[in-house]
Amino acid sequence: MATHRTSTAATTSAPDLTATQARTAQAIVNIFETGAVLGVYGQVTLIPGDTGHLTYGRSQTTLGSGNLHGLLQRYCANPGARFGSRLEPWLRRLAAIDLTLDDDLVFGNLLRASADDRVMREVQDQFFDEAYWRPALRLAAAAGIRTPLGVAVVYDSKVHGSWARLRDQVDRDFGPLAQRGETAWVSAYIDARRAWLAGGRPDLRPTVYRMDAFRRLVDQNLWGLELPLVVRGHEISASTLAAAPPGCYDGPAPGTRTLAVQEPLQRGLDVRLLQLGLSQRGIDIRADGVYGQASFKGVRAFQAANGLPATGVADIALIAGLA
């Protein structure tokens, strides 16, 4: 499995942040967005009431904003994209912000599967750097915020939205950063943003945990984001930052083994591609890369519908026809 690559922006664009501090700030927001230190590149989410609608990837870019189209257009333009030809036919609907994609099982499975491609992970890193991280660094610099924790708060607001609105509110109600000092101002911003989230749209209210997590870091005086630290139960350390991204599979290749329910459960690229193939043929299955009971039932249903022995076991021939 490929290791996560540190982005160029994270190492060069913030003079007050070391490479590790920059990656730690990004990891905090990854945890907020996908529940993982390195982010879950294949995560597909649909939150009821979310104006962004379908969201995808390490930093959860949205269908509603048009950014999902931008991300996938960039991926498909890469000649090395393993799933480029499969995703390209969907670009027109993405550009039109076709909200029926929210519930399209095949499209969601294609998104999950494409995260197994190193090219997709690299494209996501580049895209999210350009769309969120670099602009956050510029916003932080313009506001006079230099501490790693302060930059992380700005980055979270860039990803989550409404930075300028809350910044102006804090300037008005608490006083500008130049007068109050960075740590006091950022602390006041965290409190103001929490209150705004708690009293805001129904889909925003459950996200107050983001500010609660920042409040704990402030209370621990971790302005330098010194490692190791724990955010929402996740360890951020040198080892977790150097780990492989979760839920991504580089193998086994399809057809190199028979797939069946067993202990421990079989996981991998071959399972994911089999599940994707089943969904493209009308089987209701989520391509999570794990051969469990849903895969067993899906394979058995496909076998029964096609005059094959309904064993629920995917042999080499069946895999070759589906994956």
Residue 12 has pLDDT above 50, yes or no: no
Written as six digits, the tokens of 210 are 């983001």
User: Among positive and negative, which fits the CA dihedral 65, 67, 70, 76?
Assistant: negative
> Strand 290-291 relative to strand 234-236: parallel, antiparallel, unpaired?
unpaired
Please list, in sequence order, all residues whose beta carbon lies within 8 angstroms of the beta carbon of residue 184, skipping any fewer than 6 positions away.
none
Q: HSE-up of 297 (CA within 13 Å, CB side)?
A: 7
The beta strands (E) that lie in the chain are given as 44-45, 55-56, 61-62, 229-231, 234-236, 266-267, 290-291
- pLDDT reported for residue 51: 81
Specify the CATH architecture of the domain 266-322.
Orthogonal Bundle (1.10)
Q: What does the alpha-carbon distance between residue 143 and residue 135 come to, in Å, rounded to a whole number?
A: 12
| Conformation bin of residue 49: beta by default, left when phi > 0, alpha when psi is -120 to 50 | left
Q: What does the alpha-carbon distance between residue 295 and residue 94 come to, in Å, rounded to a whole number?
A: 29
**Is the bond into 228 cis (omega within 30 degrees of 0)?**
yes
- pLDDT reported for residue 59: 83
Give me the mean pLDDT over the 210-221 stretch. Answer: 98
Residue 11 has pLDDT above 60, yes or no: no
Residue 164 has pLDDT above 60, yes or no: yes
Give me the mean pLDDT over the 96-111 stretch. Answer: 96
Strand order in the sheet with 55-56: 44-45, 55-56, 61-62
- pLDDT reported for residue 91: 98
Average confidence score pLDDT of the chain: 93
Residue 234 has pLDDT above 90, yes or no: yes
Give me the phi and psi of 23, to 5 degrees please: -70, -30
Residue 246 has pLDDT above 50, yes or no: yes
Q: What percent of the chain has pLDDT over 70?
A: 95
**Sequence spans of domains, the chain:** 8-241, 266-322
Residue 10 has pLDDT above 90, yes or no: no
Give me the mean pLDDT over the 52-68 stretch. Answer: 91
- pLDDT reported for residue 3: 36
For 70-85, what is each residue's pLDDT tens digit? 999 999 999 999 999 9
- pLDDT reported for residue 200: 81
For 24-40, what is each residue's pLDDT tens digit? 999 999 999 989 999 99
Residue 8 has pLDDT above 60, yes or no: no
217 residue type, one letter: L
Q: What does the alpha-carbon distance between residue 200 and residue 202 come to, in Å, rounded to a whole number?
A: 6
- pLDDT reported for residue 201: 86
- pLDDT reported for residue 5: 37
Specify the higher pLDDT residue, 323 or 53.
53
Task: Confirm whether 8-241 and 266-322 share one CATH topology.
Answer: no
Confidence of residue 159 (pLDDT cuts 50, 70, 90): very high
Residue 114 has pLDDT above 90, yes or no: yes
Give me the mean pLDDT over the 301-319 stretch. Answer: 96
Residue 1 has pLDDT above 50, yes or no: no
Give me the mean pLDDT over the 187-208 stretch. Answer: 94
What's the whole-model pTM score? 0.83
| Conformation bin of residue 185: beta by default, left when phi > 0, alpha when psi is -120 to 50 | alpha
Kindly indicate whether the domain formed by 8-241 is annotated with CATH number 3.40.630.30. no
